[in-house]
Amino acid sequence: MATLLTEEPDYRAFWEERLQNPYPLFARMRSEDPVHWCAPMKLWLVTRHDLCFTGLKDERFSSNRSDMYVQALPPDLKAKVQPLLDHISKWIQLTDEPDHLRLRKLVNLAFTPRMINQLRPRIEQLVDQLLTDLRPGEPCDIIKRFCQPLPATVICEMLGIPLAERDRFRELIEGIMHFSTAGGPNLKHHAENAHAALREVITLFERLVAERRQEPRDDLLSALVSAEADGERLSNEELYAMCVFVFLAGHETTTNGIASGLMALLQHPDQFSKLKANVDAHVRGTVEEALRFESPVTRAVRKATERIELAGKVIESGQLVVFLLGAADRDPALFPVPDTFDITRTPNKHLAFGYGSHFCLGAVLARMEMEIAFRAIVRRLPNLRLVTDQLDWKPTMGIRALVKLPVVLGESL
Ligand code: HEM
């Protein structure tokens, strides 16, 4: 059997974070070496769906890996960005039990289904407003005009970020996110940016939290401030970390879910027509297939806490394991003709929201936003079309994100 060589063009581009289409490489990994040691990155890459599925609920794999950021940085920079590293270590996604359960209980109090469902009319209104602002006949980047502002506004309103500060806030959080999703040679550069961004973000949250303590409102931030379970509350540092992480986890991911789904619909006119013909019947399937086809979060990273055997390979204690969700979601063992975009695919047990105790907290909200967005596009912009098939993806390994999605609107309705 051929073995993967790290110098092969696709593989090299992958670990240098510039591979545009990772799926052929993922397919090779899945069939040739599904638990693969990536020497340049010094970590394991797991690509089969069954292995990702069982691995993500295996408690021998820890989520607490903030030291991977520490180890990757040179000592002088490490000392400089220590507050950033301390902050990241409090992100719910990077905690293990019992801390994780404690944080999850507290955040669940603020993130109730009632609260999420209450957002529906507001999201519908926002979608309508954003689509009304688009002009028929004029090419535009629909990510900038629609896919990005929608989840950003939703999450900013949930967190109570004042309107005038939202653009700056989003920019800052993006800086932090680029550090947390970078794995390759760009890490040091992203660390400096993220460190500066975090200082500004914390200053903003200190003010907002003080305001909520003084005068609670009907928003997520107030709910987080007052959340109490088993006699415990979030400390200030945990509160800031939760706000930053919720924004970071819920904003670009949803943007990319909507954008990639739209891209897939426009590149597969038969599927777009099917959706238009019966939106009630197919919109949920479209959301799930969009999440599977271009899984917006391409990986879930864990650290082995002991020597673990996986598919014949021995993972040593302390080694990092990357469960490649984007690869698992194209596994032909679970998804027949996996490279085909099919909005009627059933079952569709993708791992786009992860699996196990860290399963995405915002899945209900993300699905709702995507559903409302696709419904409105079908109703308001049925003649939408792509300007080009030459689409670029952002050079970041952890997320699947289009740079732009240039479209032309037909007559809006
Ligand atoms: C299409 C959109 C989204 C995708 C694809 C997505 C994907 C994911 C994935 C894969 C995980 C698990 C990561 C792991 O196991 O290491 C996760 C966790 C999480 N997500 Fe999402 N997410 C989305 C939207 C959202 C939204 C809208 C929010 C909140 C407003 C959110 C909040 C979170 C939080 C807080 C966690 C951490 C949960 C924990 O560690 O217990 N996500 N998400």
pLDDT average, residue stretch 252-277: 97
Q: 223 or 280, which is more confident?
A: 280
> Has residue 35 been placed in a domain?
yes
Task: Decide whether any atom of ligand 1 lies within 6 Å of the 354 Cβ.
Answer: yes
Q: How far is CA 298 from CA 22, 181, 264, 267, 319, in A?
A: 10, 10, 17, 21, 19
Query: pLDDT at residue 2 above 80?
Result: no
> Has residue 2 been placed in a domain?
no
Domain that holds residue 161: 9-408
> Has residue 241 been placed in a domain?
yes
Q: How far is CA 362 from CA 4, 64, 115, 290, 358, in A?
A: 36, 20, 12, 17, 11
With beta carbons less than 8 A apart as the criterion, state whether 278 and 379 touch: no
Task: Decide whether any atom of ligand 1 lies within 6 Å of the 360 Cβ.
Answer: yes
With beta carbons less than 8 A apart as the criterion, state whether 330 and 78 touch: no
Q: 190 or 100, which is more confident?
A: 100
Query: pLDDT at residue 292 above 70?
Result: yes
> Has residue 3 been placed in a domain?
no
Give nearest CA residue, ligand 1 atom 3: 253
Nearest to 150, CA basis, from 288, 223, 250, 284: 250
Measured distance CA(256)–CA(21) in Å, rounded: 16
Task: From 106, 243, 361, give the residue whose CB has the most ligand 1 atoms within 8 Å, as the site to mutate.
Answer: 361
Query: pLDDT at residue 187 above 60?
Result: yes
> What pLDDT shows up at residue 89?
92
Residue 103 identity: L
Give nearest CA residue, ligand 1 atom 14: 300
- What tens digit of pLDDT does each residue of 350-388 get? 999 999 999 999 999 999 999 999 999 999 999 999 999
> What pLDDT shows up at residue 398?
86
Instruction: For residue 340, give both structure tokens.
Output: 């085909």
- Number of domains forming the structure of the chain: 1
Position of tokens 């879930």? Answer: 300
Measured distance CA(319)–CA(317) in Å, rounded: 6
> What pLDDT shows up at residue 65?
86
Percent of the chain with pLDDT over 70: 98
Residue ranges with strand state E in 206-354: 299-304, 308-310, 313-315, 320-324
Measured distance CA(63)–CA(85) in Å, rounded: 15
Task: From 355, 360, 367, 368, give the residue whose CB has the most ligand 1 atoms within 8 Å, as the site to mutate.
Answer: 360
How does residue 183 score in pLDDT terms, banded at 50, 70 and 90? Answer: low
The DSSP letter of residue 8 is S
With beta carbons less than 8 A apart as the criterion, state whether 263 and 368 touch: no
- What distance lies between CA 265 and its chain's CA centroid? 20
- What tens digit of pLDDT does each residue of 44-101 get? 999 999 999 999 999 999 999 887 777 778 888 888 889 999 999 999 999 999 999 9
> What pLDDT shows up at residue 16?
85
- What tens digit of pLDDT does each residue of 107-140 get? 998 888 888 998 999 999 999 999 999 888 888 9
> What pLDDT shows up at residue 189?
84
Task: Decide whether any atom of ligand 1 lies within 6 Å of the 55 Cβ.
Answer: no
Give nearest CA residue, ligand 1 atom 41: 358
CATH number, domain containing residue 313: 1.10.630.10
- What tens digit of pLDDT does each residue of 146-175 get? 999 999 999 999 999 999 999 999 899 988
> What pLDDT shows up at residue 314?
98
Measured distance CA(215)–CA(60) in Å, rounded: 43
pLDDT average, residue stretch 322-334: 98
Q: How far is CA 132 from CA 81, 125, 143, 408, 409, in A?
A: 44, 11, 15, 14, 11
Nearest to 157, CA basis, from 222, 64, 102, 228: 222
> What pLDDT shows up at residue 178?
82
Task: From 104, 173, 253, give the residue whose CB has the most ligand 1 atoms within 8 Å, as the site to mutate.
Answer: 253
Atom of ligand 1 nearest to the CA of 357: 41
Distance (Å) from CA 354 to ligand 1 centroid: 8
Distance (Å) from CA 382 to ligand 1 centroid: 30
Task: Decide whether any atom of ligand 1 lies within 6 Å of the 352 Cβ.
Answer: yes
Measured distance CA(81)–CA(180) in Å, rounded: 13
Measured distance CA(221)–CA(382) in Å, rounded: 37
With beta carbons less than 8 A apart as the criterion, state whether 212 and 221 touch: yes
Task: Tell me the sheet residues that pair with 406.
Answer: 141
> What pLDDT shows up at residue 67?
78
Global confidence as pTM: 0.94
3-state secondary structure of 96: coil
What's the whole-number average pLDDT of the chain? 92
How does residue 264 score in pLDDT terms, banded at 50, 70 and 90? Answer: very high
With beta carbons less than 8 A apart as the criterion, state whether 311 and 31 touch: no
Element (H, E) at 25: helix 23-32
pLDDT average, residue stretch 339-353: 98
Measured distance CA(106)–CA(125) in Å, rounded: 30
Task: Decide whether any atom of ligand 1 lies within 6 Å of the 254 Cβ.
Answer: yes
Instruction: For residue 86, give both structure tokens.
Output: 């301390």
